[in-house]
Each structure stands twice: as structure tokens, then as C-alpha cells.
Structure 1
């Protein structure tokens, strides 16, 4: 094929079923091509995105192949193939998967990890003469969108459709967000299980584990924080906006007299109101560690030590969030 007026033409004669061009594929999430408003007032990070306001889509979307019910988009990056134009009446070529198709059984998230390693072929539907333009059918959804578009054609954005059945069912109506698998049964105190992904059951990381704690651990730590005055302080910080964005301060208005500090973390850059409270001086840190011990946190430490062959563990920091 050659580039002739932003179209693709056959450089030689081709018979039915002949591979016109193989095309390695980049695998993208649909949301990767969404353009969001930029929060220019952010003082922490430049060009922080406002995910509440979509302002457009990337031009690359026009060269993607996708299904309206899938969050997965495929971009051919072989020479010339992206110059192939649409024809619903007289297409002379189509797309089909190459011989290697094991990835069709994978979850879309795992397909994303194979970006650049999967391939499809552009194949002749009939005899194509030398110099004849190569045309494929982008699908009715693309055609309706193109015909209904008003304005500068340079602003048109829509992915190219794929043939019926080209995307397997397991790629449709499926989230491409990484989520942790839920526990089938509760962890018993001291039990250690690897953290795994929901979509494929594989470990998140070699060092990512879940440890069972005593059933009353959370209640014990809440009571400790409440008695110390930290719960009341947290409510004050959250509802009365005591701290300015990304501000922090030290205080000692707790019942045991130790000094703690509070910080409103990344509130402006990330647009949320999370605070954390942590021990500031030695007295507060020791008091906090004793509370953790009383609540039964030593079960977790003993489990980590015995399973990973560690004789000593150091807790550098702990906080309420």
C-alpha cells in the first residue's frame, strides 16, 4: 500500500483471504482518551485534572477499534493501515484476528498488559486489483455518528467498530478497574492470606498480604481515640474546616497530655477532605503503641515475623485517618 491522499491503495493484486497487512495492536482503556478540564488554580501540582468535567476526547480515538459495550480499545500501529477508509456498501477488506488468539480468553485488564504483543490482520474479502483503494466497514454505529456530526470534520471523534463477535463476550460489560478480591471467609486472628486481584485471582504483589486481627480490634482503637479526644477533634476538623488546605498544626489538648499533630492532606490538589492525626512527641507515640498492643496488634506482628523469618519489626509511623 501507499499513502495517496490520506487513503490506502493496493500496491499489488490480492486474492480473497490474502493478508493485506498485519497490524500489532496497542491496548488502551476507553477512559485513557478522555480529555478533562484542567484545574489551573492548583498550587501543588501543575495541570491537575478535574475529573468532574469532560471537555473532549483525544484524536487518537478515530483510529481505535472498539465495541460500544467494552472499555477496551485497540489501536493498530502498522504503517498505512490507519489510512484505510470506511465503506458500508462495497468493502473489499475486513479485520480478523491473527493465528495466535489465546489472549481472547483473558480479562480485559490482562489484555491491557499485553499491549503491543497482540495482532490482527487486514484481509481481502474478494479480488483486489493493483491500485484499488482498500475499504473496510467501520460499522453502523460509526456511520450514524459520522452522518449526524455537524461542525468542522477535524473535531469528529469516534472509534471504528469491530465485526460481530470480534470482541469475545468476556470483554463486554466488564470493568477495567483494578479491584481487590473479596474474602470468601473472614480472617481469623493471626491468619495470613495474600491480597489478590478480583479479575484473575493473581497476587497483587509479593509483599501484599492480609492479616487477621482480633474481632474487637477496631472497637478497642476507636474507644482509645474517643477517650483521648481524637474523635471529637476529627469531627471538628472535618465538619468545621478548622484547617486550611494542606495545613497542619500541633496540639496537646488530649486527656493524656501527649502532643499530636493533624494535617489536611492534599485537599486542594486532589479535591477531597481527608485528614490524618498522628503522634508528635515521644510520650504520645509510646501511648499509641501501648494502645495497639492492648487491642491485640501484636498478633499481626507475630504472624509477620514467623511467616517471613523476621526477628524484629520497627513501626516508624502510625496514624488515624
Structure 2
């Protein structure tokens, strides 16, 4: 039997009919590889001969309640929501090259409240996930450990923080910005860095554990790419290399122009990737040509692929 497009569409649709609890909603269903009889790892089986066709499908889903809250918040700001995209996928769309995907890599988007990760192997998405740990938790740890306000802790994290303990600097004293009603204080750099290191190492170890469970670490030839605000933290790539045993770099948006103060920052990888996702996705809506052109022109996308 020659496999035709209708066969492929049927097996994909069957895989998409995954039974989830009422609390979950599918965001993305992504084809990884096809199987034709005993042959595996097939990207496009159309035209092949075989009797059994199956597919590996990665389903990315989220909690319905949280997704509805996001939509409600957007609508309260007079923004109509057309679709919802996973942040890790958006960060990958903004930063990865075809070579990264082919040789294998993982993007870790270090946000404030959550950390998203997505891994590519053999030019396909191999796994993805999200952890309820982010930069806000680091700030809370500093606030609790040094007994200072959250605002002061955030300021210290940004201006003097490090994900690794700087040995030559560890005994040096760091003035703490005055909190209202508090007297001036100093702490050692080593104390601040130890607090940050503990939380960031825990975060990376959790991600590593999930990827190791999928037996993917040895397939990430291009290493780890860090995006999000947390990627600005001093020493974060050094810590990433230590935990994962792989090259680690900061990912910056690519193939965009204009707003140079924005596009070179890892903070904006996911938002810019969301625009790229929208430029792809919006074509299914009636007003697509105008919207798609506006999105592509807004930040000077050279390619929306």
C-alpha cells in the first residue's frame, strides 16, 4: 500500500484525539516522527510503501483555569485573544537556527514565575515542559535569607547577584539599599551569591532530571540556550554548563531588525517569538493578510519561518 496524504492526516488526527482531563486544554500537537511498519524516525512518509503507519506526537497542554485567567486579563485590557502559545516554543522560534535544531539543543526560558524548557533532537521537538519556579523565587529567597524587602532583594539580585559564588569577592561587603524604616546594613557578596546559587542549581537540576528521563542529554549537540530575564544573571551560563555538562549560552532573538535596545536582550525572546508564531498562525483568520503584514513589518522580520 502506498501511503498518501489522507493516510498521514488520518493518523495525525487520531493521535490528536488524546483524552485529557477536563482541567487540561491542548495548546500544541506537534509531529515528531512517523513509523512505517518496522521503520522509525521518518520525517515524511508520503509515497512510501507499507501496511502500518503510526506517529509520535508531542502534546503540549495547560490548565484550563490558568488559561482562562490569561484570556480574561487580556480582554480586560481590550485585547482580543485569537490563540495561546507555549512560551518555550516561542522562545525557540525567536532564537534557534536550523543548525541548532538539527544537531540538538534545549532552550530554557527563565521567567519570573515559571521556567519553560523545550528540547530539539534530530530536527524535531523531543520534549517540553514547565516548572513553577522562576526569578521571583530567587528574589523571595534573598528577601527571606537577608531579611530585606522584596523590592530591595530584586535590586540586589539585578545589580550584584550571581548564580555562582565569586570566590575572590565572597568576603567583600555589599551595602544594602535602605529599606524604609530600616537602618543601613551590609552583607557579604558570598552570602548573596550562595542564596542565588542554591535556587538556580535546584532549578537546573529539575530540568536536567526531566530531560535525562527522556534520554536526551547526549543528543543535545548544540547545548543549552538560556532566554528570559533570568538569562541576564551573572554566572548563569557557567552554572548551566556545570549542571548539564554541556555548552551553555544566552539566546538572543535572531532575524529581526529595529528596536536594537530590545532585540539583543534575552528577556524579549519569547515575546518576539510569539509575534513570529502569530505571523504563522493568523493566516487562518479572515483578516490575516493585513495582520500578518503588520506583524512582520513591526519588528522587521526577514523571515516568519
TM-score normalised to structure 2 length: 0.20
TM-score normalised to structure 1 length: 0.19
